[in-house]
Amino acid sequence: MNNFLILLLFVFLYISNVLTDNVIPESIKLAFTKSKDEIRVTWYTIDEGESPTVLYSTEMFEPIQDPSFVSVGDIISYDTIGFDGKINTAVMSSLSQSTLYFYCVGDKSSNVWSSTFNFTTNQFNAQFGEVIPFTTSFFGDMGWIEGDSLNSDVYTVNNLLSRLNEIQILHHVGDIAYADKETSNNLPGNQTIWNKFQNSISPLSSHIPYLTCPGNHDRFIDLSVYTKTWQMPVDHDGDSWYSYDYNGIHFVGFSSEHDYYPLSSQHTWIEKDLKQYRRSNPNGWIVMYSHRPFYCSVVWDWCSNTDVSESKKIYIWSLEDLLHRYNVDLFISGHAHSYERSLPVYKNKILGDVNSPKATVHIVVGTGGDVEGEDMIWQPSQPWTTGLRTSINGFGLLNVINSTTLNWQFVANINNTVIDEFNLTKGEFDF
């Protein structure tokens, strides 16, 4: 009888451990919400827990202790064939500005927790429109690849990690993971690659808000996997366009993979957002980003100037006027696996220069590293180009200096050094 009881105990412990393992947090990501004193945290678990929870405090703590704050979150299920597991998300609220917070996530009922991470809030109680210096990074077209080749995300992630204390926000401008490149049984995407990519960036995204917009490789069937995985500060569930203010800069991210023509929901939202911000801050900085560029010059269908695709014509016709009408200072994109930037340009005409811009400056930074490799063949130089064009993988750093000057740097992954840099002066456009 004693042996039987011992066997039952071992079976019970084994089952408990299996169940416990299935709610271990993975892929931890921070993002903003619509409220300036909140930070959202999202994580993945294989199975559904009973009470997804974030614990947080201004003091270092262990989950066995009672932290200063506790927030119970929500559980989201995938509805796309081939994608299993649960997305857990919770909001850390009533945060103080310019404060270091420690947090961990897990399932309170199972007492299973992640490691303890930290993040620092910005100066969100500053006067509206006051520009406070900070640095954010931009990169696109970054996917998970086995190994450490220069085409993988390893170099981008590691080089950004080396600058972790310098950067306050990360922006991934579409084509995330490339989980549509290796599918089986006619499934729309490969969840193994999707999850491995999220785990690979977790050392970054668990400490710094990681903001995204969707690319063509994130669509799968209907962008449902994207919008459920990446909980952005959208107005409505299922949207993939949003804006937020940070230290005096107005950021606008939108989806080049949704309808964007006039009278569509997204176009209406973009124009309303830009109009409202310009009314409240006529001279403030606006930085806009999406996956597909307006101006690019690699030899590739989307960038061709002699055989522009019909969809790109509609893209430009629908949106470029909005950038000019509402004085969007900088537009950052990916899609082309290359790096280049423009002079201030509107309808293919140069208007001013970076010291006195009369139109938006466009930057393509689809150089995060992915399975498709770089675009290496270039068209003849276009009138709007600055001259520097490269297929070297890397990432951009946007350094906000003050209310009149932004600094941009492009960092090459191969040696983690700046190979392009310019200052942009605040300009006023004529429409």
Domain formed by 27-120, architecture? Sandwich (2.60)
Q: Which helix (H) or strand (E) element contains residue 5?
A: helix 2-21
pLDDT of residue 308: 65
Check if CATH label 3.60.21.10 holds for domain 134-425: yes
Is residue 121 classed as helix, strand or coil in its secondary structure? coil
Instruction: Give per-residue pLDDT as tens, 193-220.
Output: 999 999 999 999 999 999 999 999 999 9
pLDDT of residue 10: 45
Q: Which two tokens stand for residue 55?
A: 């614990």
Would you call 307 exposed, middle or buried from its count of C-beta atoms within 10 A (0-12, 13-18, 19+)?
Answer: exposed
pLDDT of residue 21: 58
Question: Rounded mean pLDDT of the chain?
Answer: 92
Q: What is the pLDDT averaged over residues 335-346?
A: 97
Instruction: Give per-residue pLDDT as tens, 346-387.
Output: 999 999 999 999 999 999 999 999 999 999 999 999 999 988
pLDDT > 70 in the chain, percent: 93
Q: Which two tokens stand for residue 87?
A: 């997305």
Q: Which helix (H) or strand (E) element contains residue 91?
A: strand 86-92
pLDDT band at 188 (very low <50, low <70, confident <90, very high): confident
Q: What is the pLDDT averaged over residues 140-157?
A: 88
Q: What is the pLDDT averaged over residues 159-170?
A: 97
pLDDT > 90 in the chain, percent: 82
C-alpha 283/C-alpha 277 separation (Å) is 10
Which of 391, 411, 420 lies closest to 166 in space, CA to CA? Answer: 411
For 204, phi and psi rounded to 5 degrees? -90, -55
C-alpha 232/C-alpha 141 separation (Å) is 18
Sequence-distant (6+) residues with CB within 8 A of 332 are: 138, 171, 173, 287, 288, 289, 362, 363, 365, 396, 398
Residue 130 has pLDDT above 60, yes or no: yes
Instruction: Give per-residue pLDDT as tens, 57-110.
Output: 999 998 877 778 999 999 999 999 999 999 999 999 999 999 999 999 999 989
What residue ranges do the domains of the chain occupy? 27-120, 134-425
Neighbours of 279 (CB within 10 A): 9
Secondary structure (DSSP) of 35-55: STT-EEEEEEESS--S-EEEE
